[in-house]
Amino acid sequence: MMDTPYSQQIEQIKKKLLEAKAIDKDCLVFGASAHKYELHPPATITQVEYFETKYGIRLPKCYRAFVLHVGNGGESYQNSGAGPYYGIYMLGDHLDALVDGDPKVFLKNNCQLKPNMTAKEWEELTKILENDTISDEDYYLEFSKIHGGILPLGSQGCTYLYGLILNGPFEGKVVNLEMSGEYVPLFTSDRNFLDWYERWLDEIISGKLIKKSPSWFGYPQKEEG
């Protein structure tokens, strides 16, 4: 692979993915029975640049390195590839998983979320959505502003998913989200997407996620017990 700031970590992830698959051979980790630790071949630079041009964004380098050098989607739920919960979406798939609107608009919006948001801060940010007189059109416009600058990464099941912050001071970080916006978004503790993905593999290899049932990942308050 070409030399990038993440070259060494990418190679580590490839090796750990094989190790995790061997250790969890019975696919006991949540979602593993669907994705089976498999990924489709990586995207091409042409595909990545086309996506970026089409939506007027620049993917965070950490995620860009993953889809270019590790894999891009798979045979799991909604064509997802190996990853937490039901896996990682293929680049460009399910852009409307969080926001029912035009991706060319909301993907470019400035991300308004931040780590450790309080319930009060989230209530203040979303209070406009509680206005009974707001039209459907305005509701979705405001919803897309609140959840703008986030690329849906994969499903956790039910109304939960995880997303990638595309811009701002927290670019490249992963955040857990609830599709209706009822709950405060919860950022993972990792520096970026690759650290998050590698930690998932580490917790499988160590047996931590295999022993837990259900094996929730990326929710610190649930992992401490």
Domain coordinates of the chain in residue numbers? 7-214
Confidence of residue 3 (pLDDT cuts 50, 70, 90): low
The first and second tokens of residue 133, run together, are 């007189």
Which residue's entry shows tokens 């089409």? 54
pLDDT of residue 2 exceeding 90, the answer is no
Give the pLDDT score at 54: 96
What DSSP element (H or E) covers 164?
Answer: strand 160-165
Give the pLDDT score at 72: 98
Give the pLDDT score at 224: 39
212/217: higher pLDDT: 217
Distance CA 91, CA 67 (A): 8
- Report the predicted TM-score, pTM, of the whole model to 2 decimal places: 0.92
7-214: in CATH 3.40.1580.10: yes
**Over the stretch 135-184, which tens digit does the pLDDT of each residue have?**
888 888 888 889 999 999 999 988 999 999 999 999 999 999 998 888 99
